[in-house]
Amino acid sequence: MTTETLLDVRGLSVRFAMPRKSLFGQRPVLHAVRDVSFSLRPGRTLGLVGESGSGKTTAAMATIRLAAAHTGSVLFNGIDLLKLDAEAMRQQRRHLQVIFQDPYSSLNPRERVGAIVREPLDLMMPDSSKSDREKRVRELFGLVGLRPDQMALFPHQFSGGQRQRVSIARALATNPRLIVCDEPVSALDVAIQAQILNLLRRLQDDYGLSYLFISHDLGVVQFICDDIAVMYLGQIVEFADRPTLFSRPRHPYTAALLSAAPSLARRKSAGYVREGAVKGDPPSPLNVPVGCAFASRCPRVQSKCRDERPVLHHNAHSAVACHYPLD
């Protein structure tokens, strides 16, 4: 296994200024991502896990500059993406692609799917001949399990799973190093999810792709990710490789997520009662608590948690931001 780093994100923060509540009031600031750091090695998959509002998607989008970062650095192949000018960043995009969540809105309804898949080539390799690009599109259709004779069709003529295959083909077109997968299967039916997940993993093996994989579904994450960062209210609360995270979760929030996730082993017939369940909803990112963001819902909360914000502490296997982690 190689130790070089493909992507190294340090101290990333993203803020959004919200509309004023009154005419002369201050604009409230939403702290979507707060001081997030992670790194990804080539050929691996890093999962960003969390619930809605945890900032997982925003963190990933800020990493590839589809959202504006407030502070931080993003070293991709040793280049700080956040410091590049617009044209230099545009040139980097051939190495960085995205697969979006909603296959119904991520494809332009007025373009034929062949043209959709060809577009990254048109933009990034304008010097190549048109027939070369067409050939590449055919090849991509084959790779993702579509037929080249479907190239002339429009997106609405495909099912959700097929559209997601088109989206994957588009992401692969320029031979990228990194693909951001933003909940790529959460809008699909369960049987179709499996097809897409298997495809993503096969493509990773064949082309040495690295994935930054965003998901709220621990089952999916367990299947596809090598390392996992659990996010809560804009921060990473726990970081570990897959076996460690699933067998020995240390943050109470990770434990709660694991106990909340559906599992075939928890049977009503066996009188299953959930342990470590959390109450209530996450606090608003407009009004971040002083102490630990999870304190209001944590079953192990103590007074220190409300006053002092925990930082990520590393041990041999994992990193956790908690004053009183589980063992």
Q: Which two three-digit tokens encode residue 37?
A: 């750091």
What's the closest the beta carbon of residue 11 comes to another protein, in angstroms? Answer: 24
Give 31's DSSP letter: E
> Is 8 among the residues that bind another protein (CB under 8 A)?
no
> Is 157 among the residues that bind another protein (CB under 8 A)?
yes
Binders of another protein in range 10-29 (CB under 8 A): none
> Is 32 among the residues that bind another protein (CB under 8 A)?
no
Helix axes 160-172, 130-143, angle to 10 degrees: 130
Give 153's DSSP letter: S
What's the closest the beta carbon of residue 111 comes to another protein, in angstroms? Answer: 9
Select from 197, 288, 301, 326 the one that contacts another protein (CB under 8 A): 197
Binders of another protein in range 273-292 (CB under 8 A): 274, 277-281
Helix axes 113-124, 130-143, angle to 10 degrees: 120
Residue 80 or 122 with smaller CB distance to another protein: 122
Q: What's the half-sphere exposure (Cβ side, CA atoms, 13 Å) at 59?
A: 34
> Is 271 among the residues that bind another protein (CB under 8 A)?
no
What's the closest the beta carbon of residue 197 comes to another protein, in angstroms? Answer: 6
Please, are residues 45 and 224 in contact by the beta-carbon 8 Å criterion?
Answer: yes
**What Rg, from alpha-carbon coordinates, does the chain have?**
21
Question: What distance in Å separates the CA atoms of residue 97 and residue 112, rounded to the nearest whole number?
Answer: 20
Question: What distance in Å separates the CA atoms of residue 115 and residue 67, rounded to the nearest whole number?
Answer: 26
> Is 140 among the residues that bind another protein (CB under 8 A)?
no
Select from 13, 106, 235, 318 the one that contacts another protein (CB under 8 A): 106
Q: Which of these ranges, 31-39, 74-82, 217-225, 314-322, lies near another protein under the rule CB under 8 A?
A: 217-225
> How many CB atoms sit inside 10 A of residue 254's CB?
26
> Is 97 among the residues that bind another protein (CB under 8 A)?
yes
Select from 70, 138, 216, 309 the one that contacts another protein (CB under 8 A): 216
> Is 128 among the residues that bind another protein (CB under 8 A)?
no
> How many CB atoms sit inside 10 A of residue 17's CB?
10
Binders of another protein in range 161-190 (CB under 8 A): 161-162, 167, 170, 173-174, 189-190
Select from 6, 12, 98, 295 the one that contacts another protein (CB under 8 A): 98
The CA angle 74-80-81, to the nearest 5 degrees, is 75
Name the residue among 60, 82, 223, 93 with its Cα closest to residue 170: 93
Question: What distance in Å separates the CA atoms of residue 45 and residue 170, rounded to the nearest whole number?
Answer: 19
Select from 29, 194, 288, 326 the one that contacts another protein (CB under 8 A): 194
Give residue 232's identity as a one-letter amino acid code. Answer: Y
What's the closest the beta carbon of residue 224 comes to another protein, in angstroms? Answer: 8
Residue 311 or 317 with smaller CB distance to another protein: 317
Select from 19, 156, 287, 327 the one that contacts another protein (CB under 8 A): 156
The CA angle 64-70-75, to the nearest 5 degrees, is 40
Name the residue among 3, 14, 35, 31 with its Cα closest to residue 312: 35
Binders of another protein in range 232-261 (CB under 8 A): 242-243, 246-247, 256-261
Select from 6, 124, 229, 293 the one that contacts another protein (CB under 8 A): 124
Please, are residues 50 and 261 in contact by the beta-carbon 8 Å criterion?
Answer: no
Residue 71 or 195 with smaller CB distance to another protein: 195
Select from 147, 303, 316, 327 the one that contacts another protein (CB under 8 A): 147
Binders of another protein in range 76-95 (CB under 8 A): 90-91, 93-94
